[in-house]
């Protein structure tokens, strides 16, 4: 039972890490799009 809980927390933390990475990538893309649109003006 205890090991199952630990495994669950491991999965949750790795999932959170993946979501964090995705958010970072989206932020980078958004920033790049913003700078390129600024360049157009």
Statement: the pTM of the whole predicted model exceeds 0.95: no
What is the residue whose two structure tokens read 């090991």? 3
CA distance 9 to 17: 12
Q: Which two tokens stand for residue 19?
A: 């979501």
The owner of tokens 């360049």 is: 39
How far is the CA of 27 from the CAs of 1, 2, 12, 13, 23, in angstroms? 39, 37, 22, 21, 6
Mean pLDDT of 32-40: 69
CA distance 25 to 32: 11
Per residue in 15-33, pLDDT tens? 999 999 999 999 888 888 7
């Amino acid at each position: 039972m205890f090991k199952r809980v630990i495994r669950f927390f491991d999965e949750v933390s790795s999932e959170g890490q993946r979501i964090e990475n995705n958010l970072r990538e989206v932020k980078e893309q958004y920033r790049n799009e913003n700078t390129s649109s600024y360049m157009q003006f």
